[in-house]
Structure 1
Amino acid sequence: MDRNRTVAGLDVHKDSIYLCIMGHDEVIIFEKKYGVLTPAGSTGKCKISDLFEELGFRV
């Protein structure tokens, strides 16, 4: 494993999605739980890729 790498993971369930971003030193940088029925904006769709971009990741 690249020791200078930041990683992200999604844990998808029936009623929720858990997002975790962890640094190379195994410290959690960001974590959040999303409801799958929670509308985002006028489209009613949650765009996790937008969140990654806001945090400075390339998608």
Structure 2
Amino acid sequence: MSKTKVKKQTDQSESNKLSPDYERRNFIKRRAYLKSHTRGLRDGGMLNDWLQAKKEVENQS
């Protein structure tokens, strides 16, 4: 007889929740990516894009 593992089912609404910190970082990441596109994806500005995006997100809170 083969052994099978049964996964415990969780409430789907609980499993879809993301931590506020994860959501915040993801929002910053998307905003920084858009900033890099605005400046033409040139090298050397990724850190500044991230820092500006982080500052903007923090000011919105």
Rg comparison, structure with higher value:
2
TM > 0.5: no
Q: Which has the higher helix share?
A: 2
Q: TM-score, normalised by structure 2?
A: 0.28
Higher relative contact order (CA 8 A, sep 6+): 2
Q: TM-score, normalised by structure 1?
A: 0.29
Q: Which has the higher strand share?
A: 1
